[in-house]
Structure 1
C-alpha cells in the first residue's frame, strides 16, 4: 500500500514500498494526482510491467554521450570506429544534447534525420549518427539500467548508406604507383601495392607482425580485423616480393611490426600512419576522389573478374555473407555473356583487367585469366 504525505511546501509525495521492487516515490501538486500515480504504479508492479523512469528523466543525452565515449567507445576497434564515435557524438550533442533520454521519441529523432539530410549531409553520415544514438539507448537500457520502455531509434527509418563503386582507372594506376614510390618512406608504396594484391584493409596491413607472414607458404594471417575474426589470406607472387623487401629493409630488434612508425614519446613503435602521406601522393598524381579503402574494392573486383567463386573471394576478403558481394554481381553477369557467346559459337573479346599501357592485348578467356600486375617502376 502506498504512503501519501503532505510536504511543508504544500505538495504531496507518494511513496511505494513493495516486496521485490525498489522503493518508488514521486511528488505531485495535488493529493488526487499522487493517489492516481500510486494506484497505477502498484498495478504495474502486480502485473510485472513496472519500469522505474526517474533515471531516464534526469539523464540527459549530453551526459549519456559523455559516459558512452568514456566507457563504450574505448572498447571498439581503435582507429576509424573510435574517431567516428566522437564525430557523430559532437553533432548529436549540439542538436539533441539537452533532451532527457525519456523525452527523445520517434518524432524528434525523425526530425533530426530530416534536418541533417536537408543540410546536404550524406545518407551514410546520418545513418552512422543514428546508429551511435541507437547503440547508446541499447546500452542505457541493458547495462546502465536506465528505465526506458524501448529504444526509440529502432522505430525510425534509416537513410540508405552510400555504396562506393570507385575503381582505379587504367590511366591512374601508373601515376599512383609512381607517386607513392617517390615518397621518402617506401612503406607508402608497399602498403598501397599490398592493398591491391590482397584486398586487405589498411588497418589490417599496418597491424601485421613478423609472426603473421609466412613467405614459404605464401600466406599472411590477419588477426586485427574489422570483424575481430582471424583469417588467412593467400599472397600473390608480387605480394610475397613486397613482404620480402619490407622485412629485409628494416631491423626488427625493437618492434614486431612489419610496418612500424617512428617511436612515440614513450619509445614504443606503433603502426605506420598513412593517411596524410596518401593524400599527398594523390595530389602529386592528380587523382581525385579516390579513397584508400577503394583499393579494397578494386582488388575484390579483380578477384571476381578472373573467375574466382564467391566463396573463395569471401575467404580472401573476409566478407561475412554472399549478400555483401552483391555489388559485384554485374561482373558475374559479364561471365554469362561470355558463356552465351561461347555456346552459340560467337567469338567474344573481353578486356577484364586494365592492362599496363604497353600491353593492349585483351584477355579472351575469363576462366583462365591471370591478374594483370601494375607496371613496376625500374
Structure 2
C-alpha cells in the first residue's frame, strides 16, 4: 500500500514500497493526483509491466541531444557529425525544454509543420528533406535512449508521425556551352588537378568527398572502374569509367610531381605532421 503524505510546501508525496521493486516516490499538486498515480503504479507492479519513468521525466531533450552528440555522433563520418550538430541546435531551439517523457507525437507533428512553413537564414523556405532529416535525428535519439540508456521510455513518439517527402532528386546537367566555359576557366588554374577533379565528377557522378579521398589502388584504368569503399551509405560500390574519365585518371596517376610516399590520387600540401592529405583546391575555388 502506498504512503501519501503532505509536504511542508503544501504538495502531496506518494511513496510506494513493494517487495521486488525499488522504492518509488513522486510529488503532486493534489492528494487525488498522488492517489491515482500510486494506484496505477501499484497495478503495473502487480502485472509486472511497471517501468520507472523518472529518468525520462527529468531529462530534457536539450540534455539528451548533448549526450547523443557526445556519445553517438562521434562514431559517424565527419560530414555527418557537422550536420547532426546543426540539426540538434534546431531541435533544441524548438523542443529543448521538454522532457523526453513529455514529448508527444502531437508536439513533434507541430514542430514538423512549423518548420515546413518557416524561412531559413538564406531567405529560402525550409526544404521538406531538411525537416525529414531533423526528425530522423530525433527518432534515432529516442531509439538509443530506449535501447541503451535505460531511461524508462515506453515508446518512440517520432515513429508514427507523418514524415515529409525527401523530394525529387537533382538531375541538373551542364549545357555544352556551360561545360565549355567552365573548363576554359579551370584549365587556367596553376594546378591541373582542379580540372581533372571536375571532369571526373561530371563523367562519373561521384561526390567530391569520394573523389578527393581516392587512392591509386582504388583506380583500375585497365578495367575502367573505380572501387569506392568510403561511401555515404557505407556500402562499397564499383563506379564504371567513361573513356574520358579513364584518360583523366591516367593523367592524374602519372602526375610527375606526386611524392613517392603519397598514395592519394589528388594530394595536397604537407600538414604540420609532414603528411599529405586530400587536395581541397576544388572546394576552395567554389566549384562543385
Call closer, same or farther: CA 1:114–1:35 in 2, change over 3 Å: closer
Asked if 2 retains the 8 angstrom alpha-carbon contact of 1:15 and 1:26, the reply is no
- What is the distance in 2 between the residues matched to 1:145 and 1:262? 48
Paired residue for 1:181?
187
Asked if 2 retains the 8 angstrom alpha-carbon contact of 1:12 and 1:30, the reply is no
Once the two structures are TM-superposed, the CA of residue 275 in structure 1 deviates from its matched residue by 5.7
TM-score (structure 1 length as normaliser): 0.66
Name which of 250, 268, 271 aligns with 1:261: 268
Paired residue for 1:362?
none
SS of match in other structure, 1:154 = coil
Once the two structures are TM-superposed, the CA of residue 200 in structure 1 deviates from its matched residue by 2.0
Call closer, same or farther: CA 1:266–1:50 in 2, change over 3 Å: farther
Call closer, same or farther: CA 1:74–1:181 in 2, change over 3 Å: farther
Superposition pairs of residues 269-288 of structure 1, within 5 angstroms = 269-273=276-280, 276-279=283-286, 281=287
Name which of 230, 240, 243 aligns with 1:234: 240
TM-score (structure 2 length as normaliser): 0.85
Name which of 115, 125, 133 aligns with 1:128: 133
Paired residue for 2:121?
none
* 2:21 equivalent to 1:16: no
SS of match in other structure, 2:158 = helix
Gaps of 5+ in 1: 282-291, 293-378
Superposition pairs of residues 1-378 of structure 1, within 5 angstroms = 2=2, 11-19=12-20, 21-28=21-28, 33-79=33-79, 81-119=80-118, 120-163=125-168, 164-249=170-255, 250-273=257-280, 276-279=283-286, 281=287, 292=288
Once the two structures are TM-superposed, the CA of residue 142 in structure 1 deviates from its matched residue by 1.3
Once the two structures are TM-superposed, the CA of residue 30 in structure 1 deviates from its matched residue by 5.7
- What is the distance in 2 between the residues matched to 1:14 and 1:103? 22
The superposition leaves residues 312-341 of structure 1 with CA deviations (integer Å, 9 ceiling, x where unpaired) of xxxxxxxxxxxxxxxxxxxxxxxxxxxxxx
Cα root mean square deviation, aligned: 2.5
SS of match in other structure, 2:112 = helix
Gaps of 5+ in 2: 119-124
Once the two structures are TM-superposed, the CA of residue 85 in structure 1 deviates from its matched residue by 0.8
Once the two structures are TM-superposed, the CA of residue 241 in structure 1 deviates from its matched residue by 2.0
Call closer, same or farther: CA 1:96–1:268 in 2, change over 3 Å: farther
Number of equivalences: 279
Asked if 2 retains the 8 angstrom alpha-carbon contact of 1:218 and 1:240, the reply is yes
- What is the distance in 1 between the residues matched to 2:172 and 2:203? 17
- What is the distance in 1 between the residues matched to 2:81 and 2:28? 44
Which stretch shifts more, 176-185 or 56-65? 176-185
